[in-house]
Structure 1
Amino acid sequence: MTKALRAHRLSNMGFRRWRIANSSEAAPATTVLRGCWPFSRANARWVRPHLVLWAFDADNRSWGHMNEPHDLDAWRKGERTRLIDARMAVPASGREERTLRIAAQLEELIGDPAGLVVSAYWPFRGEPDLKPLLKRLRERGATTALPVVVRKAEPLVFRAWRSGARLERGVWNIPFPADGPEILPDIAIAPVVGFDRACYRLGYGGGFFDRTMAALPRKPRFFGVGYAEQEIATIFPQPHDIAMQAVITESEIVRPA
């Protein structure tokens, strides 16, 4: 019970399994991870020297734990580099084929878009290109939008956008609508660098989407999109991290347990 789980996924008969560090023993295929922070009864407050993730099997029996890295920022930075490099290594044709499957599942999940404001993003560094999906949603009655970085450490705003609208270059040289009115999305779609089964998102480190979801006066349906191999054991979510309602990959729709 005290051996730490190695943050490495093993593929076995289609199940997600976790191997104990320094051991050949593997967790049951139905293992799930849950996180908690220690609670100090002495002074009635939450303390967080590190996040502890406990693994449970299908019968809810505790099976092991994995500790949060001591330098979480460095760990996340390393994971971003690894995951982006892996995504960029996929040939463009392969990413396009996967994106078609992601878009089909996302369109089904959205349902009837008539009258809805749907925000996505301008693709960057091998992310799924959802611009054709936005075009189809507009044709079915949706208003489409893109996020805009106003300034560092502030929430995003969303501006109406359609094909042919004038664009300017912003953070990381990503295009954004130059003239569209600011609107509130009913559905916000964000790309992921990494994600976990609890639908927490590892992004680029700016905190823009978490900050934005916390600040919006009306909470949209919040979906993440990415490729299946971008899944990791956990992002080690912090109090400011906000879980998405679903993550859509080319192979499945992941929802929090």
Structure 2
Amino acid sequence: MTQDHDGTGGYASPPCMAGEVAPDYFDPLAVDPAQARDVARWRRAERARLRAARQALSVETRRRVGEVLSGHLRDLLEARFGSLRGRVLSAYWPIKGEPDLRPLMGEWHAAGVIVALPVVEVKSAPLAFRRWTPDTKMVRGDWNIPVPPPEADPLFPDIMLAPLMGWDGQGYRLGYGGGYFDRTLAGCAPCPFTIGIGLQAARLASIYPQPHDIPLATIVTEAGVQFPEESRS
């Protein structure tokens, strides 16, 4: 990604068509309606089950998972990219028992990485991304998730972390059901390097991917780096 300045000290708009993807790009006619309903019901049940299991983990277990997972993620990024200085990396603010990577965000910032956080600016539309630093005064965003304020620099990531509720060996992600990550990735050319972040116990045999689901490049859990089982190149 080129980080062209816009003349105001901010960064240029994303070099992709994410902002032009229609909110209704999920085509209900692309699959059998009965099958789509069955998959949607199954996913709701799995989200509830996986969330309850994650929330049941002790504070100490979550802390340990976050530390171990951060080490695997750090090793993956170093092996693939070498130095991350000057690259834009989208992280996330942890909610609902998600692995906490905030210490790693501070480490990246200190190393010259440009850290961004995703923001829902428009319902049922692709995500926006705003720059984050340890000094950023956060505001409440969608679902009351802390996000950088509107005046923070707009960015688009070279590397995107996507928190997982569940995942499968094909690299498909079960999220919270809003479809924001899929909408964001659907219109990008090129897309960022996408890394799912989740628990090893949240692995599923399949999420029963639908036409709108977009697989991630790889997944990192406390057990290590989980590359998709089948090459998609």
TM-score (norm 2): 0.80
Residue of structure 2 equivalent to 1:147: 118
CA apart distance, 1:49: 3.9
Choose from 75, 92, 112 the match for 1:121.
92
CA change 1:47–1:124 in 2 (3 A) is closer
Distance 1:184 1:171 in 2: 19
CA apart distance, 1:182: 0.7
Distance 1:135 1:226 in 2: 20
CA apart distance, 1:231: 0.6
Distance 1:69 1:87 in 2: 26
Range with greater deviation from structure 2 (212-221 or 114-123): 212-221
Secondary structure class of the residue paired with 2:190: coil
Q: Work out whether 1:132 is the aligned partner of 2:99.
A: no
Choose from 53, 65, 70 the match for 1:86.
53
Residue of structure 2 equivalent to 1:110: 77
CA apart distance, 1:156: 0.2
Choose from 215, 218, 227 the match for 2:199.
227
2:30–2:211 contact (8 Å) kept in structure 1: no
Distance 1:163 1:85 in 2: 31
Letter in 2 for 1:101: V
Residue of structure 2 equivalent to 1:100: 67
In structure 2, list runs of 5 or more residues that go unmatched: 1-28
Choose from 163, 170, 176 the match for 1:198.
170
CA change 1:69–1:184 in 2 (3 A) is closer
CA change 1:189–1:47 in 2 (3 A) is closer
CA apart distance, 1:71: 1.2
CA apart distance, 1:141: 1.5
Letter in 2 for 1:87: R
Distance 1:164 1:242 in 2: 34
Residue of structure 2 equivalent to 1:189: 161
How many percent identity over aligned positions? 41
CA apart distance, 1:152: 1.3
Range with greater deviation from structure 2 (103-112 or 79-88): 103-112
Q: Work out whether 1:170 is the aligned partner of 2:145.
A: no
Secondary structure class of the residue paired with 1:99: helix
Residue of structure 1 equivalent to 2:132: 161
RMSD (CA atoms)? 1.8
CA deviations on 1:152-179 (whole Å, 9 max, x unpaired) are 1100011100112111111111011003
CA change 1:220–1:47 in 2 (3 A) is closer
CA change 1:113–1:70 in 2 (3 A) is same
Letter in 2 for 1:158: F
Equivalenced residue count is 196
Distance 2:86 2:197 in 1: 23
CA deviations on 1:12-44 (whole Å, 9 max, x unpaired) are xxxxxxxxxxxxxxxxxxxxxxxxxxxxxxxxx
Residue of structure 2 equivalent to 1:250: 222
In structure 1, list runs of 5 or more residues that go unmatched: 1-45, 51-67
Runs of 4+ with deviation above 3 angstroms: 46-50
CA deviations on 1:61-103 (whole Å, 9 max, x unpaired) are xxxxxxx786111110000000000000000110110111111
Secondary structure class of the residue paired with 2:154: coil
Which has more helix, going by share of residues? 2
Secondary structure class of the residue paired with 2:130: strand
CA apart distance, 1:48: 4.3
Secondary structure class of the residue paired with 1:71: helix
Structure of higher CA gyration radius: 1
Residue of structure 2 equivalent to 1:20: none
